[in-house]
């Protein structure tokens, strides 16, 4: 993967960035996503935010080597503090982090959100708490995808601020749109997770020390939901 050839995961994220966007890619690491989108002429400008020094330098190098310095600003910053009002950002990507981390970045930086930005989120797990945050902060999920790459399941969640929307507990768990679409990748993902949950429940039953009832009940409920989903 590089700034020309993105991974399939980042390629699918790129597909949700609107043409002409002013993109903030937070947790940009190597900066491949904003540089690839600039090279393709898809976006107008980008901010690549990084909290850690090594990836910050890597992003600077990618930008420099691609002569993108006037259009891609690399900033050493925690979360959304990379964004300034004068950037007039219209899309924010947060990819390759846990869903809880993405949620925490959005929550602690919410004063920097104008409400006009499209959020393109690619959590590695923790999708449920992330969707919960989106719902509680007036975001509607516009698009969802599940894809598998290198034996990992990845989800992409695209959201925009809209009139308030309420999702059920199952919708927050599986994804409201994925629940309707039931793509082959989505079904395969949940078949794998069901096998895992069933194994966990068997391990609980054999455990020497009692597992808290609440924990068992939670996993059992999830296994029931998945079984019903796949029925």
Ligand X SMILES: C[S@@+](CC[C@H](N)C(=O)[O-])C[C@H]1O[C@@H](n2cnc3c(N)ncnc32)[C@H](O)[C@@H]1O
Q: Which residues bind ligand X (CB under 6 A)?
A: 10, 26-29, 49-52, 55, 78-79, 95-97, 101, 105
Q: Which is nearer to ligand X, 95 or 223 (CB)?
A: 95
Shortest Å, Cβ 79 to ligand X: 4
Shortest Å, Cβ 161 to ligand X: 21
Q: How far is CA 194 from CA 188, 209, 224, 227, in A?
A: 10, 24, 9, 7
Shortest Å, Cβ 13 to ligand X: 7
Q: Give CA–CA dist 34/45, Å, rounded.
A: 8
Tokens of residue 190, six digits? 């949940």
Q: Which is nearer to ligand X, 52 or 181 (CB)?
A: 52
Write phi, then psi, for 116 (nearest 5 degrees): -95, -10
CA torsion, ordered 28, 47, 133, 228, to nearest 10 deg: -50
Q: Which is nearer to ligand X, 77 or 185 (CB)?
A: 77
Shortest Å, Cβ 85 to ligand X: 19
């Amino acid at each position: 993967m590089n700034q020309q050839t993105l991974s399939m995961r980042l390629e699918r994220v790129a597909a949700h960035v609107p043409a002409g966007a002013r993109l903030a890619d937070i947790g940009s690491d190597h900066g491949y996503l904003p540089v690839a989108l600039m090279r393709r002429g898809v976006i107008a400008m980008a901010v690549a935010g990084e909290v850690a020094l090594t990836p910050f330098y890597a992003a600077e190098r990618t930008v420099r080597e691609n002569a993108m310095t006037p259009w891609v600003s690399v900033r050493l910053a925690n979360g959304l503090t990379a964004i300034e009002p004068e950037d007039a950002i219209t899309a924010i990507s947060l990819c390759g982090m846990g869903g809880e981390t993405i949620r925490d970045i959005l929550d602690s930086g919410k004063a920097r959100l104008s409400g006009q930005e499209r959020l393109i989120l690619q959590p590695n797990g923790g999708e449920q708490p992330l969707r919960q945050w989106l719902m509680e902060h007036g975001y509607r999920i516009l698009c969802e995808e599940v894809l598998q790459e290198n034996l990992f399941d990845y989800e992409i969640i695209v959201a925009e601020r809209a009139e308030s929307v309420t999702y059920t507990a199952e919708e927050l768990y599986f994804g409201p749109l994925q629940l309707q679409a039931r793509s082959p990748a989505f079904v395969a993902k949940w078949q794998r997770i069901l096998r895992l949950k069933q194994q966990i429940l068997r391990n609980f039953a054999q455990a020497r020390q009692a597992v808290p009832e609440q924990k068992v009940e939670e996993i059992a409920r999830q296994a029931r939901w998945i079984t019903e989903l796949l029925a």
